[in-house]
Structure 1
Amino acid sequence: MGTTSGTHDPGDIGRQILPIPRETYSGTALYDAKDPDARYIPLRQLRPPAGAPNVLIVLLDDVGFGASSTFGGPAQTPTAQRLADTGLRYTRFHTTALCSPTRAALLTGRNHHTVGMGSITEMATAAPGYTSVRPDTCAPLAEMLKLNGYATAQVGKCHEVPIWETSPVGPFDRWPSPGNGFEYFYGFLGGETDQWYPTLREGTTRVEPWGTPEEGYHLSEDLADKAVAWVRQQKVLTPDKPFFLYFAPGATHAPHQVPPQWSDRYRGRFDDGWDALRERTFARQKELGVVPPDAELTRRHDVIPAWEDMDEMLLPVLRRQMENYAGFLEHTDHQVGRVVDAIEQLGALDDTLVFYIIGDNGASAEGTLQGTFNELISLNGLSAIETPEFLASRLDQLGGPDSSPHYAVGWAHAMDTPYQWTKQVASHWGGTRNGTVVHWPRGFSARGEIRDQFHHVVDVVPTVLAAARIPAPTTVNGVRQAPVEGVDMTYSFDDASAPERHVTQYFEMFGNRGIYHCGWSAVTKHRTPWQFLGGPAVAFDDDVWELYDGTADWTQARDVAREHPDRLHELQRLFLIEATRHNVLPLDDRTYERVLPGLSGKPRLVPGTRQVLLPGMQALLEMHIVNCRNRSWSLTAQVDVPDGGASGVVLNLGGHAGGWSFYFLEGRPTFCYNFFGIERSYIRAPSPVAAGVHQVRSEFAYDGGGLGKGATVTLFVDGTPVVAGRIERTEPIGFGYEYTDVGRDSLSTVTPEYPAGDNGFTGRIDWVQIDAGEDGHDHLVDPADVVRVALFRQ
C-alpha cells in the first residue's frame, strides 16, 4: 500500500489487518472541482507509528560461539565489538543448528517446523513440518513491515526457496522479492556460492559480478557495496521512512575464500593446534564474562581427533586452514562495519535497532577430519585424492580463486568453544548457541553490558514489532495468521536481572533433539554430522538422553540424568508435547531418501532423459540440467558458423573447480573435461568447421563398471565422426554451483583455453539438445555421498 488518507494520525490507524484498508471518500459528489465545498483529505504516504526505528539484521553463516573476538574467539571482529561496547551482548541466544531452518525461523518469528523448514530445502519431504514451503498463515517480518510503511531489502544469502522453484522460471512467490516481503533483493539462492565467482540475482534477474578476482572482486565486499547504496538512496529520497535491511553474507560458509592480506594477519597464531586454541578461547571467554567463572570446558569427544594425533605432514596445511578462516571472518565483519558506518554517516545509527547474529548455527564440521583444498573432491567421495602431499603442494593457493577450501573438524569444534559438538547437532549448545549483539542507542540506555537470559532466533520478530509499536497482524493478504511463537526481548534491554521469558524451547535436526525448560535441558544426539551411513541406524527409542542443570552447569559439561531420572522423564514428555505442537513429528532421520524426489514426495525439477536448451537461456544450475553423471550421454547443437570460422562456448557445466565445456577454438569443435582442477582432458576436431549451418555433436560413451569411471568422447560434424579421445576418470556426484548459460561460460572457466567473460559463441546457436543414455549407474551411488553433497552445500 503506497498511500492512505484520513483525519487521524497514521500511527493510530488499525494495523492488525494487512494491507491496511484504505479509507474511501463518502461525502457528496460535486460537479465542479472549483466548488468551495470540493475539499478532500490530502493523500498521505503510509508510515509506521512515530518513533519506529530502522532495523538492521545481520546474520553470518557457520560461525561458532567461540570464533569471534567479541565472544572470546581468535578472529578479530571489531564491528561486533564496537556495537557491543555501546549495546548488549546476549550469551544465551540460540539458533536451530542448520541454515535454512534458522533463516526461516528468524524471518517469520515461528519455529522452523511450524513454517515447514524442518531441514534444508534440498531435503524437503511431503510431511507438514518438512515441506520447505512457508504457509501463508505465517507471513514474514519483511511483509509485515512493508505493509506498515517500511522500506525493505535483503542483501546476501537466501536458502529458503524450495529447490523446485529456484530455476529462472520460478515461480517467484517464495523468493525474497517479490514473494517474501522484500522490495529489493541482491544476492544468491542456495546454501553456498563461490566468493570469487558467485551466482548472483538482483530481484529475480541474473546479474554478473562486476569484475574478476584479479580486478579486486569479492562477494562479501560486493554485498556490502549494494547494502550501502540501498541504505543511502533510501534515506536520501525518503528520510522520514524507516528501513528494514536484512544483511546475510554467505560468509563464513565454505568455500573459505578471502584475499591473502586478511589471512596473513593470523600467521603463526594457530601453530599449537585446536586443543590449545580451545583452552585459550575458554580463558578469554571467562575474562570477558560471556561464560561464568565457574563454567567447565566440555571434553573433546573421541570421534574428533586430537591435534597431537594428526599426520605431521598435514600440520602446515591445518594451520593455514585456520589462518585462512580467521581472516575470512575478520574480513566479513569488516564488510558489516562498512554497512554500519554508512548508516552512521547518514545520522541514522542511533535510531537503528541492530541485531548482529554471529552465525546461523554452530561452526561447520563438514570439512572432513583433515580439511579440503577443493570441497567438491570430498563431496564426491574422493577424499583419498587429497593426500597430505596433495594438500601441501597447494598450500600457497589455499583461500584464493583457484581453491574451494574447508577446514578440518577439529577447528570447527574449537570454534564452538566451550560447548560440545557443532553445526547440525541441535541437541547440544555447540550446534545452537550463537553470540548475538543488540544495539539501539535511542531504544535503551544500557551500554556495554551482557545479557544472560535465554533467547532464540524466533524472538527477533516480536522484538522488532514491539520496538516499532506494530502489532502482530491477525490477517495478511486475506489470510488469517498463526500466532508469532517468539518472545519479545525488549524486557531485557535495560534490566540485566529481569527473569527470562523464553522459558521453553525445543530443538530438532536429523533426529538430534533437545528441550530447554526453566534452566534445565534434556538432549540426545542421534547422528554425527560427518558420519552418514554405515551400520544399523539407532532407533529413536534407543537414543540415550542426557540431562543438564543450566543453573549450575553453563556449558552442558556434567550429565546428571542418573541423579534426576524424574526430571529427565518430565522433559522427555515435554519434548513430545512441543514436537506435536510444531509439526516435528514424525521424526525423520532418513538421509538418502529425503534427497530423492520420488521417495521424499517433493516435485522433480528435471524429469526424463532429454532436454532442449535454447539461445538466451541462462542462470541454470546443475540441478536444472538433465543428469549425465555415471552414464553415456550426448550433446547436439545446431549452429550457424560465420565466415572466417567460429569461436566460443556452446555449452558448459561447472567451472575452475571441475566441469566440462563444449566450445569452438580457432574454428574447431572441442570438448574439455576438467576433473576437479587436477587434470583436463581435451578432444578437438582436426579441422575447422566451414561457414554455414551445421550440427555438431559430442558423444560421451561411458565405460561403465561403476562410478566415476572413464569415457570415450567422439565429436561429430553433420553426423560424421571427426575425432575421438579418452577421459580416464569422471566425477560421480556433482560439479558444484556455478551457472550454466547457453552460448558462454560466464563465471570461472572450465578451461584456460578461452578467456573469462569474453568467451561467447561468435556464431548463431539454434538449439542445444542433451540426451542421457540408458546405461546409468546412479543406482550404485553411495547414498552417503548424495547426502553429503546436499548437506555440505547449505
Structure 2
Amino acid sequence: MAADSTDIQRGTLPIPDLEYTGTVTYDASDPDTSYPPIRRLLPPDGSPNVLVILVDDTGFGASSSFGGPVETPNFERVAAQGLKYTRFHTTALCSPTRAALLSGRNHHTVGMGGITEIATSAPGYSSLRPNNCAPLAEILKLNGYSTAQFGKCHEVPVWESSPVGPFDHWPHPGGGFEYFYGFIGGETNQWYPAIYENTSPLEPWGTPDEGYHFMADMADKAIAWTKQQKALAPDKPFFTYFAPGATHAPHHVPKEWADKYRGKFDQGWDKLREETFARQKELGVVPREATLTARSPGIPAWEEMSEKLRPALARQMEVYAGFLAYTDHHVGRVLDSLDDLGVLDDTLVYIIIGDNGASAEGTMKGTTNESFIINHMDHLETEDYMIEHIDDLGTPDSYNHYAIGWAHAMDTPYQWTKQVASHWGGTRNGTIVSWPNGIAARGEIRDQFAHVIDVAPTVLAAAGIPEPSTVHGVTQRPFEGTAMNYSFDDGDAPEQHETQYFEMLGNRAIFHKGWTAVAKHKDPWLSSSHGLDADVWELYNVEDDWTQSHDLAGEHPDKLAELQRLFLIQAARFKVLPMDTRSAERFNNELVGRPTLIQGTSQVFYPGMKRLSENSVINVKNKSHSVTAKVTIPESGANGVILVQGGAFGGWSVYTRDGYLKYTYNVLGMNEYTTTSDQPLSPGEHEVRMEFEYEGGGLGKGGTVTLSADGHPIGTGKVERTLPFMFSMDETVDVGIDVASPVSSEYGPTGNGFTGDIAWARIDIGEDDHSHLADPEHRMTIAMTKQ
C-alpha cells in the first residue's frame, strides 16, 4: 500500500518516520488494538519515469536530428514525440557537465571546475561535491524512485577511484544510484572495457571475437534492470541515467556500421560544414538568416591536408559516424524495451547529444592510437603508418581518434570545439525532450535558452517533488538551474534562464538577456601562454546573431564592460575564482593540495587485486625498478600472468610460459621487447624477480632487463625504448591475470591466469627518476585527452 502523496512532507530528506501516538494495548487480540498499515514510500501520484541519456563528445552538428551527417533515427523518433531544444548548453568539458547535470548546480559550485585529474584544493576545483548539494538521484531515491546509472562516470576524485574507495563520490552508493554498471574515468576501450558493477570490478561476458562491445552490453544491462524493476515494483517510477562512453575516443565500432558511411566524407570537413549548415536551416534548428562561422584559427583547411593521407582521414570520420549511429541503435533498443513494457508514454526522456562540443584532442591528422599522443611519440605515427593501418580504425587493433577538422565540422555552425567554453561550439548541444503523457506538443522546436543545470529542477517539477531544504541533516544550497517545464507546451514563452556564466581552463563567457560576452584564453590543442588579463573579449547580440559570427565589441564598449563586470560577479558567486590556467603546477599534488593515494618507493600486491588504475599504483616510468613475486610452481610447470600493467597498446607483463619466466614490454602496440629465462622454473616455491635498469639520459629511454629466481640470474634482455607518460587510458595493474586486452601477444585476452600460486608481488622503484624532465605543458595535454 502506498502512502497518500498529499500527507507526506518531502522538504526534509530522508522523510522523517512518524511515531505512533494512538492507544497501545496489552494483548494484540484486544479489539481496541489498531495500527495504521505500513505504507510503501512512493513519489507523488503521476510522477513519471525519468530516462536521461547523455551522449559523450558529440557536437551540435553531428546528429541528423540537428542537421548532421550521421543518421540517428531513434533520436529523431523521440523528437517526433516531443521537442528539440536548439539553445541547450553544457560546460564544454566532461566531468563538469556531468557534475552539473546530476546536481542542478553550476560545476564550480560542486567542485568540478575541471576534470578530476587536475583537481586542486580550491573549493571550485576540488572535484569534491559538497554535502549541501545533494545529487538528483539521491533526492529521487529518498522520495521513492528506483535509481540506476549505466555507462560513464568521470566524477570520482582520482584518489578515491581504486577498488577500495571510499565510495562517497561513486554513483553507488554516494551518488544516490541503487545500481551502477559502467566505468570510472574519462574513457574506456569499448572492446575491452574496465567495468564496475556497483563498486566491484567485473569482467565483460566475452571478447570482441565473441561479439562483445560495451555499448551493446550496457544497453542489455539497462534493459534487464528496467524489466526487473517494473516486474517487481510496477507502481514505482524509475530514474535511469544512461551515459555511454560513446562517442568519446576511442572510436570503436563494428566494421559493418562504419562501412555504412564509406565514401560519405571524401569531400572533407569544409564542404561537410556547408552541407550540414544547409540541412540545419531546412530543419529549422538554426534560423534562415544565420551565418556560418568561418573555420576557427589554427584548424587547417581540407585542401591543406596531404592528398595521400585523405583516405585515412575520411575513414576516421566514417568510423566516428558509424559509432554515433551504433549508439543511436542501442538507445533505440532501450526505448523499445520501455515501449514493450507499456511505460514509454509515461517516461520523461532527455536525450542530450553531447556533454560538450566535439573533441579536438585528436591532433591535426588524427591517430590510430591515442597513446602516440599522450606519450609525445606521435612522430612515430607517420602518414605511411596511418595509411598502412587504415583498416584497423575502429577495430580492437586501434585506439583511434579523428582529426581536429572533423571535430570542428561536428560543431557546425559554431566556432570552436570541446574545452572552449567561450563559444557555442564548445557548449551548445542539441537536446531532445519527450514525455507523451506530460507534454502535449509533438515534433516542435524550442529556442529558449537552457543549460544542463536545468535538468534536475525540471525533473523534480515534473514529479511534483519539492526541492528539499535539508538532506541527511545538512541544509541544502538551492538549485541554480531553471526548470524548463514552462516551455513544454508554449514555444513562445519568454525564456526564464536569463543569465549563465561559462568557464573552462580560462576560456570564459557570460550570457545575459540576449547578449554574450566571450573571451577565449587558449586553443584546445595548446597550453596557456599568457595571463588572463591579456585575453581579448568579444561581444555578440544573440537576438540578431545566432552563431556568434559578428563581433560587436568595438561598437558597444559600454555593453561589453557591463557584461565583463557581470561575469566577475557570477564568478565570485559560484566559486569560479580563482580561475586556474596553470599547467605543470597542477600535477604537483603537494603544491595544489590534492591527496595522493600511493606514496613511497615500494608497493605490495596480493592475489585477487585487479583493475588498479595508474592513479592507484606506484609509477615505474622513466626510472629503474623491479618486480618481485613469491610464487609456487606446480609439478606440471606454470603458465600465466604473475603481475601486469597496461594492455595491447602499451604496458609490461611478468609471466610464465611453459615454465619459463618471461618479461614483455609493449611500446604502443608497435614493438614488444621480451626477455625469457634460460631455463624453466622447477616445481616448488620461488622468489622470482625482474630488474629493470633504466639507461637514463631523458624520458622514454630503454634499459636492461635481468630475470632471477631465488637470487640467481636466469636471463637478461634489452628494452630499446619505453613509454614516458602513460601506459593506457583505462588498462590496469592486475595480479595473477591480465584482464582486458593482453600486453603480450604470447597469450590471449582470456585464459591467461597464473596456474601456480602467488603469495605476493611487489614493485620497487629506484632513485634515478627522470620524470622531472617531462615537458610540463604535455602533462596538461595528457590530462585533457583523458576526459
Question: Paired residue for 1:137?
Answer: 132
Q: Write the distance in 2 (CA, Å) between the matches of 1:65 and 1:783.
A: 32
CA drift at 1:754: 1.6
Q: Write the distance in 1 (CA, Å) between the matches of 2:409 and 2:506.
A: 24
Out of 177, 180, 188, the position equivalent to 1:182 is 177
Q: Write the distance in 2 (CA, Å) between the matches of 1:773 and 1:635.
A: 12
CA drift at 1:348: 0.3
Question: Paired residue for 1:410?
Answer: 405
Q: Write the distance in 2 (CA, Å) between the matches of 1:623 and 1:178.
A: 22
Tell whether 2:536 aligns with 1:547: no
Question: Paired residue for 1:316?
Answer: 311
Question: Paired residue for 1:464?
Answer: 459
Q: Write the distance in 1 (CA, Å) between the matches of 2:774 and 2:27.
A: 78
Question: Paired residue for 2:760?
Answer: 767
Tell whether 2:625 aligns with 1:633: yes
* Contact kept? 1:714, 1:721, Cα under 8 Å: yes
SS of residue in 1 equivalent to 2:652: strand
Letter in 1 for 2:783: A
Structure 2 matches for 1:505-544, cutoff 5 A? 505-532=500-527, 537-544=529-536
Q: Write the distance in 2 (CA, Å) between the matches of 1:615 and 1:83.
A: 48
Tell whether 2:59 aligns with 1:64: yes
* Contact kept? 1:487, 1:501, Cα under 8 Å: yes
Out of 262, 265, 268, the position equivalent to 1:267 is 262
Tell whether 2:670 aligns with 1:678: yes
Question: Paired residue for 1:295?
Answer: 290
SS of residue in 1 equivalent to 2:734: coil
CA drift at 1:619: 1.7
Q: How many residues get paired?
A: 786
Structure 2 matches for 1:371-410, cutoff 5 A? 371-410=366-405
Question: Paired residue for 1:578?
Answer: 570
Q: Write the distance in 1 (CA, Å) between the matches of 2:344 and 2:35.
A: 38
Q: Write the distance in 1 (CA, Å) between the matches of 2:52 and 2:673.
A: 47
CA drift at 1:782: 1.0
* Contact kept? 1:635, 1:770, Cα under 8 Å: yes
Tell whether 2:774 aligns with 1:781: yes
* Contact kept? 1:62, 1:361, Cα under 8 Å: yes
Give the TM-score taking structure 1 as reference length. Answer: 0.98
Q: Write the distance in 1 (CA, Å) between the matches of 2:205 and 2:281.
A: 44
Tell whether 2:726 aligns with 1:742: no
Give the TM-score taking structure 2 as reference length. Answer: 0.99
* Contact kept? 1:595, 1:790, Cα under 8 Å: no
Tell whether 2:681 aligns with 1:720: no
Q: Write the distance in 2 (CA, Å) between the matches of 1:245 and 1:16.
A: 23
Question: Paired residue for 1:668?
Answer: 660
Give the RMSD, CA atoms, in angstroms. 0.9
Question: Paired residue for 1:276?
Answer: 271
Question: Paired residue for 1:152?
Answer: 147
Q: Deviations over 1:571-624 (max 9, x none)?
A: 000000000000000111012222331222110121111111111212211221
* Contact kept? 2:159, 2:615, Cα under 8 Å: no
Q: Write the distance in 2 (CA, Å) between the matches of 1:600 and 1:66.
A: 38
Question: Paired residue for 1:702?
Answer: 694
Q: Write the distance in 2 (CA, Å) between the matches of 1:137 and 1:67.
A: 37
Q: Write the distance in 2 (CA, Å) between the matches of 1:80 and 1:20.
A: 37
Structure 2 matches for 1:184-203, cutoff 5 A? 184-203=179-198
Letter in 2 for 1:785: H
Q: Write the distance in 2 (CA, Å) between the matches of 1:499 and 1:676.
A: 54
- State the percentage of identical aligned residues: 62
Q: Write the distance in 2 (CA, Å) between the matches of 1:485 and 1:644.
A: 65
Letter in 1 for 2:311: P
Q: Deviations over 1:248-289 (max 9, x none)?
A: 000000000000000000000100100000000000000000
Q: Write the distance in 2 (CA, Å) between the matches of 1:35 and 1:500.
A: 62
* Contact kept? 1:11, 1:50, Cα under 8 Å: no
SS of residue in 1 equivalent to 2:733: coil
Q: Any gaps of 5 or more consecutive residues in structure 1?
A: none
Tell whether 2:756 aligns with 1:758: no
* Contact kept? 2:648, 2:743, Cα under 8 Å: yes
SS of residue in 2 equivalent to 1:312: coil
Question: Paired residue for 2:430?
Answer: 435
Question: Paired residue for 2:584?
Answer: 592
* Contact kept? 1:109, 1:462, Cα under 8 Å: yes
SS of residue in 1 equivalent to 2:140: helix
Letter in 2 for 1:108: S
Question: Paired residue for 1:610?
Answer: 602
Which deviates more from structure 2 when the two are superposed, residues 753-762 or residues 180-189? 753-762
CA drift at 1:313: 1.6
Structure 2 matches for 1:45-56, cutoff 5 A? 45-56=40-51
Q: Write the distance in 2 (CA, Å) between the matches of 1:362 and 1:301.
A: 14
* Contact kept? 1:733, 1:785, Cα under 8 Å: no
CA drift at 1:695: 0.7
SS of residue in 2 equivalent to 1:710: strand
Out of 489, 497, 501, the position equivalent to 2:492 is 497
Letter in 2 for 1:638: K
Tell whether 2:614 aligns with 1:622: yes
Question: Paired residue for 1:10?
Answer: 5
Tell whether 2:93 aligns with 1:98: yes
Letter in 1 for 2:718: R
Q: Write the distance in 2 (CA, Å) between the matches of 1:595 and 1:409.
A: 26
Tell whether 2:200 aligns with 1:205: yes
Q: Write the distance in 2 (CA, Å) between the matches of 1:111 and 1:315.
A: 41
Q: Deviations over 1:314-351 (max 9, x none)?
A: 10110000000000000011111111110111000110
Which deviates more from structure 2 when the two are superposed, residues 62-71 or residues 777-786? 777-786
Structure 1's 4 and 164: CA in aligned 2 closer, same or farther, altered over 3 A?
A: farther
Out of 482, 486, 505, the position equivalent to 1:487 is 482
CA drift at 1:4: 8.2
Which deviates more from structure 2 when the two are superposed, residues 596-605 or residues 681-690? 596-605
SS of residue in 1 equivalent to 2:315: helix
Letter in 1 for 2:641: V
Out of 86, 103, 121, the position equivalent to 2:116 is 121
Letter in 2 for 1:509: M
* Contact kept? 1:4, 1:23, Cα under 8 Å: no
* Contact kept? 2:630, 2:760, Cα under 8 Å: yes
CA drift at 1:117: 0.5
Letter in 2 for 1:265: K
Q: Write the distance in 2 (CA, Å) between the matches of 1:550 and 1:10.
A: 43
Q: Write the distance in 2 (CA, Å) between the matches of 1:655 and 1:538.
A: 38
* Contact kept? 1:107, 1:140, Cα under 8 Å: yes
Q: Write the distance in 1 (CA, Å) between the matches of 2:670 and 2:216.
A: 29
CA drift at 1:542: 1.4
Q: Write the distance in 2 (CA, Å) between the matches of 1:285 and 1:41.
A: 59
Out of 216, 226, 232, the position equivalent to 1:237 is 232
Letter in 1 for 2:131: D
Which deviates more from structure 2 when the two are superposed, residues 615-624 or residues 221-230? 615-624
Q: Deviations over 1:186-231 (max 9, x none)?
A: 0000000000000000000111100000000000000000000011
Question: Paired residue for 1:328?
Answer: 323
Tell whether 2:787 aligns with 1:791: no
Out of 2, 24, 29, the position equivalent to 1:29 is 24
Q: Write the distance in 2 (CA, Å) between the matches of 1:497 and 1:170.
A: 48
CA drift at 1:689: 0.7
SS of residue in 1 equivalent to 2:100: helix
Q: Write the distance in 2 (CA, Å) between the matches of 1:348 and 1:96.
A: 32
CA drift at 1:739: 2.7
Tell whether 2:80 aligns with 1:89: no
CA drift at 1:11: 3.6
Out of 642, 651, 659, the position equivalent to 2:651 is 659
* Contact kept? 2:2, 2:42, Cα under 8 Å: no
Q: Any gaps of 5 or more consecutive residues in structure 2?
A: none
